[in-house]
Amino acid sequence: MFCFELEPAIPLLTVTQKGVWTAATVATFEPAFRQELKRLLVSGRPTSLIIEIRATVPRDLLVTKALRAMVARLGHLNADRTAVVSSLGFADLQAGRIPDPNTRIFTSIVQARDWVTNKPGESLSMTSGNEPSDASPEGSVVHVRGPADVDFVLTPAAALETARRISDAAVEVLLETASATGSARHSDVSSSKARTPDLVPALE
């Protein structure tokens, strides 16, 4: 159900969680997780943690609550940087509502590892693409692929909400761009009109 990989030289702890979890699974996981976090702290340097959730269905709400309560009990054992990777995308993680700036959610283990191994002061670099992602139904979920390393699944409800949010954001960007372009053109016209009297004496 879970396994650990400790890389003390970084220092980084990667936790892989598989299968369908129950409250009993969380109870078994917590002491083992605490022991690994203690080993992670031995270096005395800023620590990083990756939690990769390999699940095919969203977790039960009781399990989610139990995991959150467990994290709250960790105290000083918490890593300085935590990346959560979910094959279910933001649906399993409630749209990524994590207030801690040192915790981020990813759909790619590569992106997660790049972020946690950067210096704490560095921000996650983003690239702008002009190719749309592909989306297809797969059983009870929607699978989103490409471009680059985008690969995750969402429940139908999460897919619809994500599509709405992306659409709203795209419209806002288009409106702001159009407004900025209009302002620039107005400024150019005004400047041109302001310069016209200077040309009159030369034409007389």
| pTM more than 0.75 | no
CB 66 within 8 A of CB 25: no
**CA–CA dist 52, 32 (Å, integer):** 16
Please report the pLDDT score of residue 187 as a whole number. 59
Q: Which of 23, 4, 22, 24 is nearest to 14 (CA)?
A: 4
Judge contact between 104 and 98, C-beta under 8 A.
yes
pLDDT bucket at 38, cuts 50 / 70 / 90 = very high
Q: Pairing state of beta strands 151-154 and 81-86?
A: unpaired
> Above 60 in pLDDT, residue 144?
yes
The whole-chain average pLDDT of the chain stands at: 78
In the predicted model, is pLDDT for residue 184 greater than 70?
no
Helices (H), the chain: 23-40, 61-74, 109-116, 156-203
* pLDDT, tens digit (0-9, with 9 covering 90-100), for 101-140: 788 888 888 889 988 988 544 444 445 567 788 888 888 8
Q: Which residue has the higher pLDDT, 154 or 98?
A: 154
pLDDT tens-digit profile of 64-98? 889 989 988 999 999 999 999 886 654 444 434 45
